[in-house]
A and B are shown apart, each in its own frame.
Chain A
Amino acid sequence: MLKGMFSRPENMKMFWREFMRQCVDIGIGSLGIVFIISLFMGGVTTLQIAYQLVSPLIPKATIAQVVRDTIILEFAPTLTCIVLAGVVGSKIASELGNMRVSEQIDAQEIMGINTKGYLIRPKILAAIIMIPCLICISGFLGIWGGQKAGELGGILSADQYWQGLRQDFRAYNIFFALFKSFVFAFIIASVPSYYGYNVQGGALEIGKASTSAVVVTCVLILFMDYLLAALLL
C-alpha cells in the first residue's frame, strides 16, 4: 500500500486541498477531546502524586517535577495517541471503507487517479504534521491542569509548582516525546487506512474493519512505546 503512494500527484492543487482538509479534520477536529483529556490527565496526576509523596522530607515542588516528566514522557504522547487512535483511526477506516464499498474508490481509479496517493498520502502527511502539534498542546495543557488541580486542592502553590517545573529539566525528554509522537502519528494514519482501503463487503465489514483498525493501532502504539523507551531512554 505504501509503495503505491509515492508517485507524483495527478493535480497538485487537488492534492493540497485534500491535505488541508485532512489537517483540519485530524488537527482541529481532535482539539476538543485532546483539551479535555489533557486537563484531567494533568489534574489527576498531581493529585495522585501528592497522595503518594507523604514524607515531610520531600519538598512539595517535587510533585510538579514528577508531573512534568510523567506528562512529557508518557501521558501526553502515549495516552493522547491512544485516544486519537480511537477518534482519528476509526474515522479514517470507516471513511475509506465506505468509499470502497460504495465504489467511490473504483470511480476514482477509473478516472485514472492513483487513489493511494490521493486518498491515503494526505491522511498520513496530515497526521504526521498535526498529531505532534496536538501532543505539544496536550503537554502544556496537562502541566497547566496539574497546576490548577494542585492549587484548587490546596496541595501546593503556583510558585511551588513553577519551581518544581524548573528543577532538573532535561530537553532530551521533549525530543523523546516528539519522536514518539511522529511514530505514533504514522501508525494512527497508516493502519486504519490499510484496513479501510481493503474492506470487502458491506456495512458490517466496515464496522469490523474500523474496530480491528483501532485495536491493532492501540497495540502497535503500546508496543512501539515500550520499544522506543527501551532504545532511547
Chain B
Amino acid sequence: MIELVNIKKGFGDKIILPDVSAVMETGKVNLIIGTSGSGKTVMMKCMVGLMPIDAGKVLYDGKDFTGMNDHEKKEIRQQIGMLFQGSALFDSMTVEQNVMFPLDMFGKGTLREKKTRVMECLERVNLKEAAKKYPAEISGGMKKRVGIARAIVLNPKYLFCDEPNSGLDPQTSLLIDKLIKELTLEYNITTVINTHDMNTVMESGDHIVYMYQGRKQWEGSNKDIIFSKDEKLNDFIFASEFLRDAKEMRQMEMFQDQNWRNQIKKD
C-alpha cells in the first residue's frame, strides 16, 4: 500500500500540488486520472521520488519514503517497477538485454537462471519471438510490453505506469490494460496508473483518484463513476455526446439489473 499524506509540490511560484492525500491499495489497479496539466504526472513522479516534494510524506507499506536516506531509498526502489509513457527502453540493447538489465544490475543467480527469468517475463507479455530485436525494430505496443516485462522482472511490489496507452490503438490498449490487471492480481502488486484513457478507467479502475487543478476532486471505483454527481468529473469522463448517451444506457442497465435482483430476492 502506498499512502500520500498532505504532499505539496511547486515549481517556483507555481504550486502544482497544493495539498494531496490519497491511498493506493495493494492488489488493485489504482488510477490517477485528470485533464492535462492537472498534476497527475507530477504526483506520480513525487511518489517514486523522481521529484522531491516540498512538504508531506509518501509512505510505502507504512515506511516514510521521503525521510529515508539514499541507501534505504535504493532498497525501496528495487521493489518498484515502472512503465514509462515512451517505454524508455535502452536503444543500444536488444529486447532481451533490456529485460535482463535490472537482473544484471541487482539480481542474483547464474546467467542461465537470469535468462530463464527473462524468457518467463517475455512469454508473459507474449514477446518471446522478439527477444533478439532492437527497440527500433518493434512497434509501439510491443515496446510497451517490453517495458512491462522489464518492470516485472525483479518481482516488484509496486508497479507504476505513466500513460500506458498513449499512442496505441484501442485494441492494443485493451491488451495492455488486461495484462496490467492480470499481473496486479497474479503477483498482488500495488499498481498505480496515470491515464486519461476512458477504456482503462472503465475496464481496470478498481480505485480511481480524479485530479483537478492539483487537488483530489473525486475518489471511487469504476462502478461508482457511473453514478457520480461530481460535475467536474462528469465533464471530464463523459466529455462527448456519445459517452453521455452510453453513461445513461449503462445507468439504465444497472438500474434494471438491480430491480431484477431485488425481484428475485423477494420471490
Which residues from chain A sit less than 8 Å from chain B, CB to CB?
Answer: 10-11, 13-14, 98, 102-104, 106-107, 109-113
Contact partner of A110 (CB less than 8 A), chosen from B80, B85, B101, is: B80
CB-based contact A111/B90 at 8 Å: no
Contacting pair B90 A104 (CB below 8 A): yes
A10 to B77, CA, bound (A): 13
Inter-chain contact A107/B84, CB cutoff 8 Å:
yes
A109 to B80, CA, bound (A): 11
* CA of A11 to CA of B101, assembled, Å: 11
A159→B91 CA distance, assembly (Å): 53
Chain B neighbourhood of A14, CB < 8 A: 104-105
Contact in complex: A103, B88 (CB < 8 Å): yes
Q: Taking A10-B106, A14-B105, A112-B106 as contacts, is the C-beta distance between A107 and B82 under 8 angstroms?
A: yes
Complex contact B105–A113 (CB within 8 A): yes
Nearest residue, chain B, Cβ from A7: B70
**A111–B88 touching, CB < 8 Å:** no
| Given A10-B105, A10-B106, A106-B50: A111 and B77 interface contact (C-beta under 8 Å) | yes
The answer on a CB contact under 8 Å between A11 and B106 is yes
Residue in B88, B90, B105 whose beta carbon sits within 8 Å of that of A106 in the complex? B88
With A104-B90, A106-B50: A111-B84 Cβ-Cβ less than 8 Å: no
> Does B78 belong to the interface (CB within 8 Å)?
yes
- Given A13-B104, A111-B77, A112-B75, 16 additional A-B pairs, CB 8 A: A10-B74, A11-B105, A14-B104, A102-B86, A102-B91, A103-B84, A103-B85, A104-B88, A107-B88, A109-B50, A109-B77, A110-B48, A111-B101, A111-B102, A112-B73, A112-B78
**Chain B interface helix/strand/loop/mixed:** mixed
Q: Which 10 A-B pairs have the closest CB atoms?
A: A112-B77, A103-B88, A107-B88, A112-B74, A103-B84, A110-B82, A112-B78, A11-B105, A104-B88, A111-B102
Q: Please, which residue of chain B has its CB at the minimum distance from the CB of A110?
A: B82
Interface size in chain B (residues, C-beta < 8 A):
22
Proximity bits, B111-127, A CB within 8 Å = 1, else 0: 00000000000000000
User: Which residues of chain A have C-beta atoms less than 8 A from B101's C-beta?
Assistant: 111
Chain A to chain B contacts (Cβ below 8 Å), 22 pairs: A10-B105, A11-B104, A11-B105, A14-B104, A102-B86, A103-B85, A103-B86, A103-B88, A104-B90, A106-B84, A106-B88, A109-B50, A110-B77, A110-B80, A110-B160, A111-B77, A111-B101, A111-B102, A112-B73, A112-B74, A112-B77, A112-B78
In the complex, A174 Cα to B106 Cα: how many Å?
44
Please give, as numbers and ranges, the residues of chain A lying within 8 Å of B82 by CB-CB distance.
107, 110
B 89-108 to A, binary, CB cutoff 8 A, 1 in contact else 0: 11100000000011011100
CB distance from B59 to the nearest CB of A (A): 18
Residues of A within 8 A of B160 (CB): 110
Interchain nearest-CB distance for B245 vs A (Å): 38
Q: Report Cα–Cα, A107/B101, bound state, in Å.
A: 11
Among the listed B73, B74, B88, B106, which residue makes an inter-chain contact with A102, where contact means beta carbons less than 8 Å apart?
B88
Q: Which residues of B contact A113 (CB under 8 A)?
A: 105
A177 and B94 CA atoms in complex are apart in Å by: 41
A198 to B89 CA separation, bound complex (whole angstroms): 19
Q: Bound complex: CA of A233 vs CA of B18, how far in Å?
A: 60
* Chain A residues positioned under 8 Å from B85 (CB to CB): 103
Q: What residues on B are CB-neighbors of A110 within 8 Å?
A: 48, 50, 77, 80, 82, 160
**Residues of chain B lying within 8 A (CB to CB) of residue A111:** 77-78, 80, 101-102, 105-106
For the complex formed, measure the closest distance between the CB of A136 and the CB atoms of chain B, giving whole angstroms. Answer: 29
